[in-house]
Amino acid sequence: MSELRAGAAAVTIATEPEPEAPLRAAALVLDAGRRICLVCTDSIAIPPDIRAGIAEAVTTECGIAFDDQLVTATHTHHAPCTIDILGCHRDAGFCERLGQAAVEAVRRACAPLEPAEVCFAQSQEATVGTNSRYLLRDGSIAWYAYRWDEVVRPTGPSDPDLPVFAVKRQDGSMIGMAFNHSVHNIGVLAPGRLSPGFYGHVAQELERRHGGTALFLPGAFGSSHNTGAFGSTPNQHAVSPAECVHRVTEAVEWGLRMAEPLSLDPLVVLKRPFVFRVRAFDEAAEEAAVKRWSEHYLPANPEPNQAVFRAMRAEMAPVQGEERQTWLQVIRLGDVALVGVPAELFARLGLEIRRRSPFRWTYVVGLANDTLGYVGDREAYELGGYQLWAGWHSLSAPGTGEAMVEQALDMLREAAEQGA
């Protein structure tokens, strides 16, 4: 195996209106005979045209093949909108700057690459988030504006594991870091301002402490949120955004202290097409589900919420059952495997990939290279709730998640065989 060389850089996307912390694109490049890059952007998602532009420019300007790029979003809910969804409209200027910043971050990370080693540890943070698909006393699944005394229990698991990667120079100084966790990136320190979210604050705090560039890679977070994100009455167990920053930072710090050198032999990258179908739906049943929820939890003005979902269904109706293609990706770093999925994958599905993987350490990276919105397990579709109401935010048919798991496992087995 060739000597590892690495580089990392971050580039600001937006400074106006003034955010509470910069919105950035950050890149980590590793070259051990094969050059790969990990890119994250402080955005809710990366639209397909911007993602394609990033891929083409990174290939042309930096010599990193499409298959060897993993590009994701931190899923902060506090940045300008990048996709037309749920009544929000794309900010074209922000999207353009996002693409430019992502390419520039990779370019800077590559110039030049330095001799390096990767250190790795698995940490954990189990208190900032939970499976947020709560069963409520009326039999519905929680979304927003419910009372905490109406909550019966979560309807699925969450994943508290937090892998930490430190990329260091030969003198021990930091080139870059990456960490991964499976909770929605919702929560700001100053309400009403743009923000990279609490995970973005963690990344920038780590840089202040250690130097280098830090990347947050979202996990299988589709069914998990900050404990206090949406209830209409106080949750006595809620963790504030500021406390989330502190707790996640300390979890990463523990990982950095415990991290040991990780051999990247072999370095294997697989990117494969994944075919799915746009979901079919019963319009009357979907209208009734949204109407029931809206009238119960937004009684003063239920119609706007219903109208948003009604409009999405009208747009989706002509393409029900249509076959579409996206990507799954596996990056093998020695004994560690990263599985890039193009979705807000539910924790149950992410844990299934991890449980059945042939690798000792396996982690899901959500919103990788595309987004299908929420992808749940079959049982979750049967339970219903906002995440799985029909709409562009929940594009794919039931069973897509299970098919994604099986193809990811096939790719993990292929990656394992390549190193045998």
Instruction: Give the model's pLDDT for residue 420.
Output: 66
- For all residues of the chain together, what is the average pLDDT? 96
Mean pLDDT of 405-410: 98
For the chain, which residues make up each domain, given as ranges?
5-274+322-418, 281-319
Task: Cis check for the bond before 266: say yes or no (omega within 30 of 0).
Answer: yes
Q: Does residue 85 register a pLDDT over 90?
A: no
Residue in the block written with tokens 């996640």: 248
pLDDT band with cut points at 50, 70 and 90 for residue 52: very high
pLDDT band at 16 (very low <50, low <70, confident <90, very high): confident
Position 146, amino acid: Y
Give 317-350 pLDDT, tens digit per residue.
999 999 999 999 999 999 999 999 999 999 999 9
The DSSP bridge partners found for residue 391 are 394
Please give the backbone phi and psi of residue 361, each rounded to the nearest 5 degrees, phi first: -125, 120
Q: For residue 266, is pLDDT > 80? A: yes
Residue tagged 């990136």 (tokens): 185
Are 298 and 228 in contact, with CB atoms under 8 Å apart?
no
Q: What is the pLDDT of residues 138-194, one digit of tens each?
A: 999 998 999 999 999 999 999 999 999 999 999 999 999 999 999 999 999 988 899
Q: Which of 377, 382, 316 is nearest to 343 (CA)?
A: 377
Could you tell me the pLDDT band of residue 1, with boundaries at 50, 70 and 90?
A: low
Query: Order of strands across the sheet with 361-365?
Result: 267-277, 323-333, 336-340, 361-365
pLDDT of residue 17: 79
CA 291 from centroid of its chain's CA atoms? 30
Quote the DSSP letter at residue 394. Answer: B
**pLDDT for res 174:** 98
The tens digit of pLDDT for each residue in 217-251 reads 999 999 999 988 889 988 888 999 999 999 999 99
pLDDT in tens, 87-97: 889 999 999 99
